[in-house]
Amino acid sequence: MDTVTDTLRIFADLVPGISVNKAAMRAAALRGFATATDLADYLVRKGVPFRDAHEAVARTVRAAEAGNRDLSALTLEELKQFSDRIAEDVFPFLMLEGSLASRNHVGGTAPAQVRAAIARARASLR
């Protein structure tokens, strides 16, 4: 047997014993300012040059970090301190669910894409 086959057999034996702690996974996903890229993308879509968006997001992250808060916990007034292009429509981009949903392309994190990838993987095993 080869290493790949052996590894897959071990993995197949392990999978049924996996239990998911949704709360812990969510907490882990919120650490590290995972939606910072979404904020930069938002600013670029609003016409901010990427390097300026990057700088605004860096300053926003530093402020959030100093206050021990997630980006989504900042108020609109706080966010506007870093760019006058930020408006009320920013908040969906700063939420974990919005971040995941925004990547709605093959291989992306949008729930529909994840379900499609699972379906493709299952079909390939048949």
Question: Could you tell me the CA-to-CA distances from 79 to 4, 62, 88 in Å, in that order?
Answer: 49, 12, 10
Tens of pLDDT, residues 101-117: 888 899 998 999 999 99
Q: Architecture of 22-94 per CATH?
A: Orthogonal Bundle (1.10)
Tens of pLDDT, residues 33-85: 989 999 999 999 999 999 999 999 999 999 999 999 999 999 999 999 999 99
CA distance 79 to 87: 9
Q: Locate the domains of the chain by residue range.
A: 22-94, 97-126
pLDDT at 86 over 90: yes
